[in-house]
Each structure stands twice: as C-alpha cells, then as structure tokens.
Amino acid sequence: MTIVHLLERNAAEFANDTALVEINPEQPETRKLTWHEYELVEPAKSRHYRREITWAVFNEKANRLANMLKQNNIGKGKKVAILLMNCIDWLPIYFGILKTGALAVPLNFRYSADEIDYCVNLAEADVLIFGTEFIGRVEAVAEKLSKTCTLIYFGAGCPAFADDFNDLISECSGTFPPCSLEESDDAAIYFSSGTTGFPKAILHNHESLIHSCRVEQNHHGQTKEDCFLCIPPLYHTGAKMHWFGSLLTGSKAVILKGTRARTILEAAHREKCTIVWLLVPWAQDILNALDRGEIDLKEFELSQWRLMHIGAQPVPQSLIRRWLEYFPDQQYDTNYGLSESIGPGAVHLGIENVRKVGAIGIPGYGWEVKIVDPEGNPVEQGSVGELCLKGPGVMTCYYRDEKATAETLKDGWLYSGDMAMQDEEGFIYLVDRKKDVIITGGENLYPVQIENFLAAHNKIKDVAVIGLPDARLGEIAAAIIELKPDVTCTEEEINEFCLSLPRYKRPRKIIFADVPRNPTGKIEKPRLRKMYGAEGLVDSQNKS
C-alpha cells in the first residue's frame, strides 16, 4: 500500500466528507475564482476567506494534474518541484505528482533565486510548478532553468517565461488509472534546512511515506471525527507528516494561513479543531496574549481541542507548564524527527508522559534509537552522545551525494547530528546539535541547556545561545535575548538570574535583540553567528 491508495480509498468511502479547508484571514472575499477554486466559499458574513473541498474533489484535482503531467511525458522516475505557499491546492498537486509515479520535490518558500536554481538542478527536476509570490525569483533564473525544466505557473496573470497551469489542465480528465507503485519505489525529495550552507536533497521512498502515516496515527490516536489544524509550511516534512494522520483516517484538516494568537484560537473555535500542532513562538504568543489580557478564552469554544503538540525544536518546560495552566484538559506531546527520518515521530514524548516534559521522549512507533560516542559505540546511561535512528522511515540517501550519505547512514542507522542523553527510565533528552557545541576553556557547553534555563525568565520571549570567538577561552557563550513586548530588562538582571547556573555555563555576553527563526521554527544560528561574530573577540578575563 502507498499513500496514493489511501487518497483513493478516502475518495471512495468518504466522497462527500470534507477533506481540506483553507482559511486566509488576510484574503478579501472578492477574490476571483478560476477552475481550481470552484469549491464552497463561506458566506460574506464571515470575516475570513474560506474554501473547502471534499475527498472526492481532492482526488479529482490530483487526477487532473496527473493527466496533465502524463500529457507532458512526466511519469515514473521523473521529478516535479513544487514552489507554492500553503493553499488548498498544495496537497492535491503533491498527490497528482505521486499518482504518475514521478517524485514530488517540495521547495522552501524562502529560497532565493540562486537556491531555487541550485535545488531544482540538484534534484534534476523535470518540471517546476510555482506560484504568484515567486515570479520575480523564478524569472531571475528562468533562462538557466528552462534548458532542462518546464516552468508551469500556478495563478492568475501567467508570465511570458512560463506555461499557464490553468490552460494546461483545463481539458484534463478527473479520472486517472493509477500507476503501479511499490513501497520500495522512490516517492519524494525533500531538502534539509540548509543551516550549514546550501541544502542537501533527501530521497524517500513510498515505504517512508506510508510509515509516517502509521506513526502519526499511532501516537495521536486520530479517528474519523478529528479535525487537524495545520499552520506550518507544507513543503516541510513536519506539517505534511502530521497531516498524514488525517489522511489515514479520512478526517478533516484545516490549512490556516496566519499565525497570530487570536487567528489560531478563532480557527480552532470556528472549525471545531481537535488537534493543533504549534511551533514554540506561536504557543508563546498565545500565552503572552492571555497573560496580558488581550485575549479572553471565554470568547472561544475550545472544549473539543483535545491535543496540542509541538515539534521542530526543543520546548522549554516552563512553556508547557504555563500552557497546561490555561488549558488543563488538553493532552500534550512533543515530537522529534528529521527530514532524513521523514519528519516528526522518530522520538516522541507520548501523551501519557506529560510528567516528563523536558524530554523529547522515547522511540516512536516502529523506530529504534541508540546514543553513541564518536567511535560509534553506545554510551553509558546518562552520558552524552550522538542520537542515531533506525526504522522504515529512514531516507534512502542524500540524492547525488555519496559522501554525505556514507557519513550519515551506517549499517542501517541514521546518525542525526544531535547530541542527546537517556535517563534511567529510558527517556531521551536533546542536548544540542553536534556542530553547535561550544567548547570554552576545555569545557563542552550545550546551548539548548542554557536556552531552556533562560526561557524560564518571566521577561524573556525567546532566546538563542551561540559561541563567539574569545582570545583566552577559544569560545564563549553569548545569549541573544528577545524580550516580551512592553517589558524592560538589563544585562545585570540576566546575570543575576544566571547565578544558579554553574559558572562555566553562564553566558559571558548578553545581546538584547530579536531571535530569527526559519519557517519550521528552528533558530537561524548561522545567521546569528554572522551578525555577531565580528564583535565576538571578547576579553573574558573581565567576566565572572
């Protein structure tokens, strides 16, 4: 079985049930409809632009795209890149690609023109489907791309350098004979976050995708009655693989194009969402708005909201404690994974283990875990080592990068690059990225530990700790601190707060500034090092 079969099953068994809803708080109701926007639109009394499609329409859309691709000689083994913002058509396009036997290649919507060119060429994409927001970036590299790749524009007002999606698909049939697919067949190429340079291309097969469906449903117990609120970008494995739980059960999902605290709560209220996946900054924003009295929970009916879970980054214990004070009846889970392990779920806390908040959890459904030293030997319990994963969701390889593949995949184990430790109950704690460890005066500092400590300060909204060069110690820990709105704080206050830390763990430089995060919630530490590294040669002798 593949996830293509799941879509076809849902279209047959739940044809008239809602599959997807799109809500865009910024989009006016007067938007002109084209062929791909013929679905129900909520009446004008709504303050939000809203569309929805059934499972039958979802499948029909995918079939029409598959037929269009087939007419353009796209089939098994070919590759189709997707460069779109989140929208109700994103997933039907993804599935239409898979139905032909081609590989889907989702691209990060933040990519520059050079990164688009690099990734399309690395993946050897035969087609690039791109949206309105990317006309300028694609045009900048269109001459190079068009030599090997067909450019298809999705939206109104097609630019001269691309083919028009609407024209190509207007006469395509809504039925499509499925391509013969096996779980071992290649399915998709995802890209790493690119936090250390240009991203790597991560190849997954259909076994990986179907395993992620089973993992998500096993961990979070989705049923046909659930409704999943999806906010993060669909190009990333995290959002899509969490949605795969909805696919497996044929349940409704809501794609929300907005991250404001009130917007999230209104969507959960209006659509009767039962499961919401948040990134740390969004959860912080909701809590801060509640703390300030800007939002009153009495405005919303949220009793049906049974599960909030977070992934993509370490989660401060203080955040979850605050969350459960406001939402005491909700379940909570933390999910850990990599794009190389088909996104979240390789390790998860488990909704029954909220007492262990702070840990990333235990091995997920169908996964094995070990923690090893630099020689690949398992470390003693409580010692720090590299976290390794094994299971049906491990990538096939880094596409066209044998060296990186050999460094990461060893004897069936995926070496994550994350440093972790395991307690006496078997719960795993993420310590930091291997490459982010700060060595100061011969001592190893793990920034995540310091970040978690500082996150408990009642004036701090977000924090990142990086290493800066130091003439005497080699490196020192610098804390970039983003304060909550309308509060003031001094360096002296932070230093006093840190007195309970061991001396060598205390940040030796405090910088009050915004903490940049990428669309999946990860701190952009290379950017911070570039911003502050030039001023980093600090005389540590004058610091306590």
- The string of pLDDT tens digits covering residues 354-374 is 889 889 999 999 999 999 999
> For 31, which DSSP code?
P
* pLDDT tens, position by position, 61-100: 999 999 999 999 999 999 999 999 999 999 999 999 999 9
pLDDT band, very low/low/confident/very high, at 130 (cuts 50, 70, 90)? very high
Query: For residue 316, what are the contacts with CB-CB under 8 A and spacing of at least 6?
Result: 280, 451, 452, 455, 456
Instruction: Tell how far CA 153 is from the center of its chain.
Output: 25
Strand locations in 107-217 (E) = 127-131, 150-154, 163-164, 186-191, 201-205
Instruction: Tell how far CA 100 is from the center of its chain.
Output: 26
Mean pLDDT over 433-449 rounds to 74
Closest CA to 264 of 222, 210, 300: 300
Distance in angstroms (rounded) separating the CA atoms of residues 129 and 93: 9
What would you report as the CA-atom Rg of the chain, rounded to the nearest whole angstrom?
Answer: 24
Cβ 200 vs Cβ 115: under 8 Å:
no
Q: Quote the longest CA-to-CA distance of the chain.
A: 74
What are the Cα distances from residue 315, in Å, to 18, 37, 259, 444, 452? 33, 38, 18, 21, 8
User: Does the pLDDT of residue 41 top 50, yes or no?
Assistant: no
Mean pLDDT over 264-292 rounds to 92
Record the pTM: 0.83
What three-state secondary structure class fits 376? coil
Mean pLDDT over 175-201 rounds to 84
* pLDDT tens, position by position, 473-522: 668 899 999 999 889 999 999 999 999 887 878 999 999 999 988 776 77
What three-state secondary structure class fits 418? strand
Q: Which of 269-283, 456-470, 509-523 has the lowest mean pLDDT?
A: 509-523
Boundary residue ending a domain (157, 172, 206): 206
Task: Tell me if 134 is assigned to some domain.
Answer: yes
Closest CA to 211 of 338, 346, 62, 99: 346
Query: For residue 137, what are the contacts with CB-CB under 8 A and spacing of at least 6?
Result: 111, 112, 113, 116
Mean pLDDT over 270-298 rounds to 92
Assign residue 190 the CATH number of its domain.
3.40.50.12780
* Cβ count near 356 (within 10 Å): 18
Task: Tell me if 87 is assigned to some domain.
Answer: yes
Identify the domain containing residue 71 by its residue range: 54-206
Distance in angstroms (rounded) separating the CA atoms of residues 536 and 471: 9
Alpha carbons within 13 A on the beta-carbon side of 140 = 11
| Structural domains counted in the chain | 2
Burial 2-11 (b: 16+ CB within 10 A, else e): bbbebbbbbb
Mean pLDDT over 396-414 rounds to 96
Task: Tell me if 76 is assigned to some domain.
Answer: yes
Boundary residue ending a domain (183, 206, 229): 206
Task: Tell me if 421 is assigned to some domain.
Answer: no
Query: For residue 269, what are the contacts with CB-CB under 8 A and spacing of at least 6?
Result: 299, 300, 301, 302
* Cβ count near 325 (within 10 Å): 10
User: Does the pLDDT of residue 538 top 60, yes or no?
Assistant: no
Mean pLDDT over 10-35 rounds to 76
Distance in angstroms (rounded) separating the CA atoms of residues 353 and 429: 14
Boundary residue ending a domain (148, 172, 206): 206
Cβ 319 vs Cβ 336: under 8 Å:
no
Q: Rounded to the nearest 10 degrees, how much is the dihedral formed by the CA atoms of 194, 428, 350, 209? A: 40
Distance in angstroms (rounded) separating the CA atoms of residues 300 and 133: 33
* pLDDT tens, position by position, 286-338: 999 999 999 999 999 999 999 999 876 667 788 888 999 999 999 999 888 88
Looking at residue 520, what is its pLDDT?
63
Looking at residue 120, what is its pLDDT?
97
pLDDT band, very low/low/confident/very high, at 532 (cuts 50, 70, 90)? confident
User: Does the pLDDT of residue 534 top 50, yes or no?
Assistant: no
pLDDT band, very low/low/confident/very high, at 523 (cuts 50, 70, 90)? confident
pLDDT band, very low/low/confident/very high, at 194 (cuts 50, 70, 90)? low
Task: Tell me if 229 is assigned to some domain.
Answer: no
- CA quadruple 122, 128, 131, 136: dihedral positive or negative? positive
Task: Tell me if 217 is assigned to some domain.
Answer: no
Q: At what angle do helices 261-270 and 280-291 cross, to 10 degrees?
A: 90
The secondary element (H helix, E strand) that includes residue 424 is none
Looking at residue 43, what is its pLDDT?
37
Mean pLDDT over 213-231 rounds to 96
Q: Which of 294-308, 336-350, 445-459 has the lowest mean pLDDT?
A: 445-459
- Sequential DSSP letters for 466-494: EEEEETTTEEEEEEEEEEPTT----HHHH
Looking at residue 312, what is its pLDDT?
62
Looking at residue 197, what is its pLDDT?
58
What three-state secondary structure class fits 472? coil
Closest CA to 358 of 431, 434, 287: 431
Averaged confidence pLDDT in the chain:
88
Closest CA to 336 of 426, 238, 203, 407: 238
The secondary element (H helix, E strand) that includes residue 106 is strand 103-106
User: Does the pLDDT of residue 544 top 60, yes or no?
Assistant: no
- Sequential DSSP letters for 237-280: HHHHHHHHHHHHHT-EEEEE----HHHHHHHHHHTT-SEEEE-H
Both tokens of 409, joined, read 């995949």
pLDDT band, very low/low/confident/very high, at 471 (cuts 50, 70, 90)? low
Distance in angstroms (rounded) separating the CA atoms of residues 270 and 285: 20
Q: Which of 6-20, 44-58, 79-93, 394-408 has the lowest mean pLDDT?
A: 44-58
Task: Tell me if 412 is assigned to some domain.
Answer: no
N- to C-terminal Cα distance for the chain?
61
pLDDT band, very low/low/confident/very high, at 20 (cuts 50, 70, 90)? very high
Assign residue 529 the CATH number of its domain.
3.30.300.30
Cβ 479 vs Cβ 511: under 8 Å:
yes
Task: Tell me if 384 is assigned to some domain.
Answer: no
Which segment, 190-204, 209-223, 310-324, 460-474, is predicted with the most confidence on average?
209-223
Proportion of the chain above pLDDT 90, given as a percent:
67
